[in-house]
Amino acid sequence: MLHHSSVEDAIYFFNELQPYHLEFDIIGLSYYPQFQTKDLGLVKTKLNTLATTFNKDILMVEMAYPFTLEWNDKSINFIGDDSQILTEFPATPWGQKAYLEWLVNTVKSIPNQKGIGFCYWAPDWVAFVGNGNTSTKGSAWENQCMFDFDHKALPIFDVFRNN
Cα 69 from Cα 20, distance rounded (Å): 43
**What pLDDT, on a 0 to 100 scale, did the predictor assign at position 130?**
63
Question: In terms of residue numbers, what domain contains 149?
Answer: 2-161
Task: Give the residue with greater pLDDT, 3 vs 162.
Answer: 3
CATH number of the domain where residue 27 is located: 3.20.20.80
Mean pLDDT to the nearest integer, 92-112? 97
* Total domains in the fold of the chain: 1
Q: Are 50 and 24 in contact (CB under 8 A)?
A: no
**DSSP bridge pairs for 147:** 153
Average pLDDT over residues 87-95: 98
pLDDT band, residue 132 (cuts 50/70/90)? low
Q: What is the pLDDT of residue 126?
A: 87
Please indicate whether residue 73 or residue 62 has the higher confidence score (pLDDT).
Answer: 62
Q: What is the rounded distance in angstroms from the CA atom of residue 21 to the CA atom of residue 91?
A: 42
Q: What's the pLDDT tens digit per position in 37-50?
A: 999 999 999 999 99
Measure CA 95 to chain center.
14
C-alpha–C-alpha distance, residues 32 and 3, integer Å? 14
Is residue 135 predicted with pLDDT exceeding 80?
Answer: no
Please answer whether residues 116 and 26 qualify as being in contact, where contact means their C-beta atoms are separated by less than 8 angstroms: yes
Question: What pLDDT is recorded for position 74?
Answer: 78
**Burial degree of 77 (CB within 10 A; 0-12, 13-18, 19+):** buried
At 129, give phi and psi (nearest 5°). Answer: -125, 115
> pLDDT class for 127, splitting at 50, 70, 90?
confident
